[in-house]
Amino acid sequence: MKRPPQFALWTSILLLASCGDERFISADLPQPSETSTDDHGHTHDEVSIGSASVNGITIELAQGGGALAPGKEGHLLVKLSEHNGTATVRAWIGTPNRLASVVSRGSYDESHGNYNVHAMAPDPMPFECQWWIEIEKPDGSKGVVPGKPIL
């Protein structure tokens, strides 16, 4: 059955309208794995969003603070296998080209051994919005972790 061209348009509008709306979030999302307090005094429930490797560094990632919403702050915890405290960690929410995104620099939390990054989600959020993480080693070499899904 061939659908009218308006079908795709309305489907896209409905998908965009639901982006970031907690009513449309699946109940099957991972449950918080840990609760922590960052160096700004914020308490965060952390949910692992996976790991990656860039420039020989293994990176563990967790999202804190619940679901992201357009124009709201997101919280990312980044733990490196090496160079903790000496590397520079930057992250943004959006697309690889950083269009309409604000890049934020993470602060190292020595007591937890990870970087805390607070980044603003773009408003509106792009359709395939993800976390992007840039790691700069002390020698100046950089690598970008491919997009990680947001919750």
Under 8 Å between Cβ of 115 and 38: no
* Helical spans, DSSP H, in 1-151: 5-18
51 within a domain of the structure (yes/no): yes
Assign residue 87 the CATH number of its domain: 2.60.40
pLDDT tens by residue, the chain, 151 residues:
554 444 343 333 333 333 333 322 222 333 344 455 545 555 557 899 999 999 889 999 999 988 888 999 999 999 999 998 999 999 999 988 888 889 999 999 999 999 999 999 999 988 888 999 999 999 999 999 877 877 6
DSSP secondary structure letter of residue 128: T
Helix (H, G, I), strand (E, B) or coil at 65: coil
27 within a domain of the structure (yes/no): no
Helix (H, G, I), strand (E, B) or coil at 53: strand
Boundaries of domain holding 116 = 35-149
DSSP secondary structure letter of residue 126: P
Question: Residue 65: left if φ>0, alpha if ψ -120 to 50, beta else—which one?
Answer: left
61 within a domain of the structure (yes/no): yes
**Which residues have CB under 8 Å from 139's CB, separation 6+?**
none
- Which tokens belong to 93? 């929410």
The tally of domains found in the chain comes to: 1
